[in-house]
């Protein structure tokens, strides 16, 4: 096929033409494709002015009637931001926590996935969106979100070696940061398996030749390293399936649900959904207790127990098909508002509330452990990371965090960008404000689950002006999302603490006495 090569001036002229068509609403599929090609050409030639011009053109489209085009514009916008992130990085800002281009790229890719036109695209196209989102998450240390997106990409396009190779590399990085040697070894083995899969595919579609070569080099390096440690090249994984998932049918269903959604507080569940990972074995790393005593151990126990309670509530709420005994003979008014009421729904609400509150408790833990001078009212998960807002000045990331050289603290900060922060207006999630509204309604106002959302006029007697509303499917998805965030925050906290203890040991060579901590047996709980 013959290709046309445009000069710099011609590319700007084309951008101007697209701008005119965008404003008058007469854009075509061909011109949408031209915009995407312009962005790639500008990125490859490091033309930041043209990239910014393309971003401006995208902003002139507004909400397109053609759903397929709307999804593509979010994707193209994300591509432009990805190029800007690459070309704006310097030795001075490479380690900065403030990376607005990457945050905005995550936002645009999520917007593309949430867009109504997403389903109209091919599986390969959708896989590329998820793969790019995984890459963007991985840059911030959010390895769990990255793994989730790469897995979705491979479900859509099993031949997307870019997603599989990057997943392998991320698992190997994760394994190097684990403080349990057994977990580390088996996560390494899974990372190696993913790299093998990527190398077997080779260059394909969105996986360019240089990336395929990089995956080959990574695989050879890890193979040699694991050979040195005597790790079997083809270990038998059958032993991982020989662990019990419980006694009763309900317990087995519960633990299988946790495994499949990767909700166990266990690093093994990040690599496997086999029964070996069906325990909450995560513990705090070895740490200095002078000045704190048992405080951190006790706080971590509470974080885990409240998380497990939230997780069980969400499972029980989803599993509640039959009428609960407590729901019988409860008189409720029929208001023609499509509202639903049940113990199961209240359990799901409890899961959302408990999981959301865990994020603030993680922030409170960080405030104490890293001796952050934030006021207690500003020590919530959304605001802890930045300086106190002052009139006439912008908040900035606290220097204690910027200079920490702790990727897992950075991951917590990036995760906090999914939460609404009234002091700033930069989010990594299109529904950040909606999650905030739901949480406040659950805690302080009224929130109801409905069969279908009401669209009646505000003047109607059936309009409920006191309550926020959502369908059960929508709310369950939100609750699972917040629960997953809480799980990530707890694991990132433990990894961040391990990193900080390693850094402290490197600076302080003073001898200390260590002692083991026993686990509480099940029969003594409660």
Q: Is the pLDDT higher at 438 or at 393?
A: 438
- The pLDDT score that the predictor gives to residue 373 is 82
- The pLDDT score that the predictor gives to residue 518 is 82
Mean pLDDT over the full length of the chain: 90
Take residue 500 and report the two structure tokens written for it: 């900080």
Compute the average pLDDT of residues 326-347. 87
- The pLDDT score that the predictor gives to residue 324 is 85
Q: Is the pLDDT of residue 391 over 80?
A: no
Q: What DSSP assignment string belongs to 291-338? A: TTTTHHHHHHHHHHHHHHHHHHHHHHHHH--SPPGGGTT------SS-
What is the Cα–Cα distance from 222 to 172, expressed in whole angstroms? 9
Q: Is the pLDDT of residue 515 over 70?
A: no
Compute the average pLDDT of residues 186-215. 92
- The pLDDT score that the predictor gives to residue 510 is 65
Classify domain 122-235 by CATH number: 1.25.40.10
DSSP structural state of residue 339: E
Our CA dihedral for 114, 115, 121, 126, rounded to 10 degrees, sits at -30
Q: Is the pLDDT of residue 315 over 70?
A: yes
Q: Where are the beta strands (DSSP E) in 57-122?
A: none
Compute the average pLDDT of residues 427-454. 89
DSSP structural state of residue 247: S
Q: Is the pLDDT of residue 64 over 50?
A: yes
37 pLDDT tier (thresholds 50, 70, 90) = very high
Q: Is the pLDDT of residue 12 over 70?
A: yes
- The pLDDT score that the predictor gives to residue 2 is 43
- The pLDDT score that the predictor gives to residue 514 is 63
Q: Is the pLDDT higher at 250 or at 334?
A: 250
Residue pair 345/314 in contact by the 8 Å Cβ criterion:
no
Q: Is the pLDDT of residue 63 over 90?
A: no
Domain ranges of the chain: 1-89+97-116, 122-235, 282-454+463-507
Residue pair 57/15 in contact by the 8 Å Cβ criterion:
yes
Compute the average pLDDT of residues 153-173. 97
* The 339-340 sheet, strands edge to edge: 339-340, 446-450, 467-471
- The pLDDT score that the predictor gives to residue 513 is 56
- The pLDDT score that the predictor gives to residue 229 is 92
Compute the average pLDDT of residues 325-330. 86
């Amino acid at each position: 096929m013959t290709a046309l090569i445009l000069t710099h001036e011609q590319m700007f002229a084309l951008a101007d033409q697209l701008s005119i068509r965008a404003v008058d609403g007469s854009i075509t599929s061909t011109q949408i494709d031209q915009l995407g090609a312009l962005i790639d050409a500008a990125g490859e030639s490091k033309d930041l002015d043209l990239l910014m011009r393309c971003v401006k053109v995208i902003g002139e489209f507004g909400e397109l009637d053609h759903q397929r085009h709307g999804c593509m514009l979010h994707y193209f916008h994300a591509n432009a931001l990805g190029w800007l992130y690459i070309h704006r990085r310097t030795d001075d800002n490479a380690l900065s926590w403030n990376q607005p281009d990457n945050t905005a790229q995550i936002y645009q890719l999520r917007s593309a996935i949430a867009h109504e036109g997403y389903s109209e695209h091919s599986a390969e196209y959708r896989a590329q969106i998820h793969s790019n989102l995984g890459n963007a998450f991985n840059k911030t240390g959010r390895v769990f979100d990255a793994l989730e997106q790469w897995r979705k990409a491979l479900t859509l396009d099993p031949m997307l070696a870019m997603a599989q190779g990057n997943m392998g590399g991320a698992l190997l990085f994760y394994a190097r940061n684990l403080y349990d040697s057994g977990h580390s070894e088996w996560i390494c083995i899974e990372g190696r398996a993913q790299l093998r899969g990527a190398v077997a595919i080779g260059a394909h579609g969105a996986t360019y030749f240089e990336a395929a070569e990089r995956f080959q080099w990574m695989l050879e390096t890890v193979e040699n390293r694991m050979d040195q440690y005597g790790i079997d090249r083809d270990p038998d994984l059958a032993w991982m399936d020989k662990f019990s998932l419980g006694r009763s049918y309900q317990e087995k269903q519960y633990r299988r649900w946790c495994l499949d959604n990767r909700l166990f507080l266990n690093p093994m569940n990040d690599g496997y959904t086999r029964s070996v990972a069906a325990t909450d074995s995560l513990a705090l790393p070895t740490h200095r207790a002078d000045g704190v005593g048992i405080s951190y151990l006790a706080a971590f126990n509470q974080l885990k127990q409240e998380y497990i309670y939230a997780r069980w509530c969400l499972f029980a709420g989803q599993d509640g098909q039959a009428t609960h005994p407590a729901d019988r003979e409860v008189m409720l008014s029929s208001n023609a508002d499509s509202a639903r009421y049940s113990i199961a729904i209240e359990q799901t609400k409890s899961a959302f509330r408990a999981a959301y509150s865990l994020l603030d408790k993680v922030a409170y833990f960080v405030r104490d452990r890293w001796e952050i001078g934030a006021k207690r009212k500003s020590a919530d998960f959304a605001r802890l990371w930045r300086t106190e807002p002052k009139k006439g000045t912008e908040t900035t990331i606290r220097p204690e965090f910027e200079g920490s050289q702790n990727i897992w603290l950075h991951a917590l900060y990036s995760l906090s960008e999914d939460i609404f922060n009234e002091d700033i207006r930069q989010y990594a999630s299109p529904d950040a404000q909606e999650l905030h509204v739901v949480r406040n309604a659950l805690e302080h106002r009224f929130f109801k689950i409905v069969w279908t959302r009401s669209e009646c006029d505000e003047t109607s007697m059936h309009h409920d002006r006191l309550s926020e509303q959502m369908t059960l499917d929508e709310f369950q998805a939100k609750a699972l999302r917040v629960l997953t965030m809480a799980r990530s925050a707890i694991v990132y906290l433990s990894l961040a603490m391990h990193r900080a203890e390693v850094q402290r040991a490197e600076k302080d060579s003073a001898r200390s006495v260590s002692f083991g901590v026993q686990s509480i047996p099940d029969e003594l709980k409660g």
